[in-house]
Each structure stands twice: as structure tokens, then as C-alpha cells.
Amino acid sequence: MSGVSIRRDRRAGRITLTRPQALNALDHEMAQSIDAALAAWRDDPEVALVIIDAEGSRAFCAGGDIAAVYRAGRAGDHRAGRAFFRDEYVMDARIADFPKPVVALMQGFVMGGGVGLGGHASHRILGETAQVAMPECGIGMVPDVGGSRLLARAPGQCGEYLGLTGARMGPGDAILAGFADAFVPEADWPALKEQLARTGDPGLIPRHPAPPAPLGTRDLSAFAGADMAEITAALEAQGADDLLQILRRNSPLSLAATLALVRAARHDASVRDSLAREFRFTARATAESDFLEGVRAQLIDKDRSPRWSADASPAHVRAMLAPLGADELTWDMFTGKDQQ
């Protein structure tokens, strides 16, 4: 399988991303293959746990490979994006609900789709090079892959701050915010993976002190505002020009929708609820949001000068997050013991 190595290794099912030259970006075929492997290992008595890791030092997974979604959307085909996001979210839900331990070892960039792949594992390990972020507002998208639920469960207003600004977290901040569980120096990973594969015992994961978490000392009270206007006004009153500059670069529709998603996710019973709500936006994204323009500016032409034009009114935000009827993301693909 191009882009991912899937195999059995003694007591472990092994999933290794193998696109280091592309920062291990997750494409549609990779997501489908990972989901199929998890489904096969679910009831395999020889597989005691699953290990997810990635080749290269620069990235665990820097996001989804959305080039095909962009090209299809530009050509007027909005089905390709909808199919990719649906299958990716099914994979994310399967990881979150997997009945056996899933150990994710994450280094370098862990962003967007990488958070979906590693952030819902039962044992989430970061190394010293990890940089975790949900930067979707900068490309006209919203934090998805269950990211709205992770953001919603972060302490205080960390979720609003991280989702709206796309700020990067080092390992200490990511553990504080609930995006990871443990810090293990990357030099120790080969021996740890060997032990896990040999024994199938996640109890062997060592407990190292978490690195410093400067996020815990930041004044994020401005992000408690009822809407983007209140948040912006509070940041102006604080003289937080650095944060205002970031927010003004991002898509207004994405900012407003992200705020709604994070706050709605605080009431969700499971990640499936959050994924289904995120899918309402992403299913419409290529046709009704700033997504195509954001991808053009940041990833295609790389002029870093997006011309945002999508309607950011409360009415349009509600429309973007409204149920999709027959296209709503449901979980009938899970059967038997998978249903919870």
C-alpha cells in the first residue's frame, strides 16, 4: 500500500505512515486502508494492541492530502471531498472506539488529519519535536476529524484559542490541552515499540515528566466572548495585536463556524456526535465556504493572500452546520460490538 505500511508484528497490529517526503499527509486511500485494517484486527485474538507511527523526523502527519479534493471542487465535483471526509471520519471514530489499546507515537508536525489519526488513540505519546495544531481556519476550513471535541474538552478557553488561531502546541502544551497523554523521548521509541510488539502490554509505556506548558499561563479570557465580535473587542482592549493579526488573516466564516462547533461539542456524548456535526460543514465546504480559496492561497499558488468571500453571517453559519438529510454522517458502517 502506497503511503502506509500495515502488517502484523507478533502481538501488535502495526500501522506506519510512509510518506515522509509529503510530511505523511493522509490521503483517501490511506484512510480507507487503515480503517479496513482496524476492522480486521478488532476480533483477531492474535492482535493485542495497535501501534500507529510514522517514518521521518519532520512529521507524524501534517494533515490531510487535500489536493484531489481541491481539484475536484474546482471542476465542480463536490462529491470527491464529501467521500474523502466521510471515510476519514469513519476511520477516526473507529480509532476512538477501538476495543483494544491503540498506541500512537507522534513526532514533528501533528496537524489536522494527523490529530484525527493520533489524537483519539487510547495511548497518545509525544516526542520532544512534536508540534500539534488545528490550523484549519487559515485555509477556509474548520477543525474537523473530531478536533472540535478535543478542543471542547481543553481547559478554560484553550479550545477557542487553539481552534481560532491555529496556535502550535509543543508536547507540554498538548498534554495540558488534552491532545496527548504522555511524553517519551524519541530516542526511546525503538525499544518501546519492540517491547509493545513482543508483549502486547501498554502498561510498559514509561511515565516521564511532561515538558513545560506555557499555554497554562496565558490569559485567554478574551476567548470567552459570545461571538467573534466580542472576542475581537476583548483582544483589542487587551492590546493583543499578535492574536488580532492572526484572526484577521483567517476566514471569517471559518472562525464563526469553529466557535460554534467547539461550543456545541461541549455537550456531545461521544466523538461520533462531533464528527457528524463537523461533516455537515466539510460536506458543503467545496461549494459553500472559503475552502477552495484558502487551499489555493496556502497550498497551490502559495501567495499567502487569500481573498475571503464566503458569507460569515450567523444565518449562513447555521446553514453550514444544519443536518444533511440523507447525506448525514451515520454510523451504520459499524456492526455488532462496534455499536455503542
Walking along the chain (340 residues) 10 residues at a time, the average pLDDT comes out as: 91 98 96 97 97 98 92 95 96 98 98 97 98 98 98 98 98 98 98 98 96 96 98 98 97 98 97 98 97 96 96 98 96 52
C-alpha–C-alpha distance, residues 112 and 114, integer Å: 5
Kind and range of the H or E run holding 29: helix 28-41
Confirm if 329 and 276 have CB atoms less than 8 A apart: yes
C-alpha–C-alpha distance, residues 155 and 176, integer Å: 8
As given in the structure block, the three cell numbers for residue 279 are 461533516
pLDDT given at position 34: 98
Kind and range of the H or E run holding 42: none
238 contact partners, CB below 8 Å, separation of at least 6: 219, 222
pLDDT given at position 162: 98
C-alpha–C-alpha distance, residues 57 and 248, integer Å: 32
Kindly list the structural domains of the chain, giving each domain's residue range(s) and its CATH number in brackets, ordered by start: 4-330 (3.90.226.10)
Amino acid identity of 137? Answer: C
Q: Where in the sequence numbering do the catalytic residues fall?
A: 64, 113, 136, 144
C-alpha angle with apex 188: 33 to 44, nearest 5 degrees? 35
As given in the structure block, the three cell numbers for residue 100 are 483494544
For 274-339, the three-class secondary structure string (H helix, E strand, C coil) is HHHHHHHHHHHHHHHCCHHHHHHHHHHCCCCCCCCCCCCCHHHHHHHCCCCHHHCCCCCCCCHHHC
170 contact partners, CB below 8 Å, separation of at least 6: 130, 131, 132, 211
Distances (CA, A) of 333 to 65, 121, 122, 163: 24, 20, 21, 29
State whether the Cα torsion 233-236-242-245 is positive or negative: positive
Eight-state DSSP code of residue 201? -
Confirm if 154 and 162 have CB atoms less than 8 A apart: yes
Q: pTM for this one?
A: 0.95
Widest Cα–Cα separation across the chain:
59
C-alpha–C-alpha distance, residues 37 and 21, integer Å: 24
Confirm if 147 and 163 have CB atoms less than 8 A apart: yes
C-alpha–C-alpha distance, residues 115 and 151, integer Å: 11
As given in the structure block, the three cell numbers for residue 95 are 480509532
CB atoms within 10 A of CB 330: 11
Confirm if 47 and 84 have CB atoms less than 8 A apart: no
